[in-house]
Amino acid sequence: MAKLEVLQIGHPILRERSVKVTAFDDGLSRLAEDMLEIMHEASGVGLAAPQVGIARRLIVVEMPDDDSYPHPGERWVLANPELAKASHETETGQEGCLSVVGYVGVVERPVEVVIRGQDLTGRKVRIKAEGYVARVFQHEMDHLDGVLYVDVAKEGTVMTVEAYEKLLEGQRAAGLEAEEHTVAPA
């Protein structure tokens, strides 16, 4: 198999609705391992199969092994994830993406979610996530439906990482409380 690479915005696979995973075999396990390796190389916290050119409903999420993140070092590999429940309470946060390199945007998402899916053996699983972890899951699941964060970001908030950092710097210099959000490519 050819080495997988992260596709960039503009590639048609990123806009397709992915197909359901039906074969829970060694090929699926290899794909998940490859995705995790690619995600680590790119310093991401999540990756969806369409981002590496495979239009299947598979996502990987792994929190950095760093106490400043919730669930440090925890990893999830989920096939056919579905949003089972979402809180009415939402929060806005800065998001980036391995398929939209160099840009960030502000996206409003539910604070808590319950996700149903399957593990690599096909066994049904249910995950309750909140805060940052919930945001990452929602971001990755959007990819499975051909949606990028730039499509759902609040109008006028998508900017280069450099422009975002200057904005935060300006807010701090003005004595304003900077709305700092973790920017993690997913």
Catalytic residue IDs: 140
The residues, ordered by sequence, that sit 6+ positions from 181 with a Cβ below 8 Å of its Cβ are 92, 93, 94, 106
Tokens at residue 164, please?
């975002």
Cα separation, 46 vs 36, whole angstroms: 8
CB atoms within 10 A of CB 65: 9
Cα separation, 131 vs 70, whole angstroms: 9
Q: Decide if 27 contacts 58 (C-beta within 8 A).
A: no
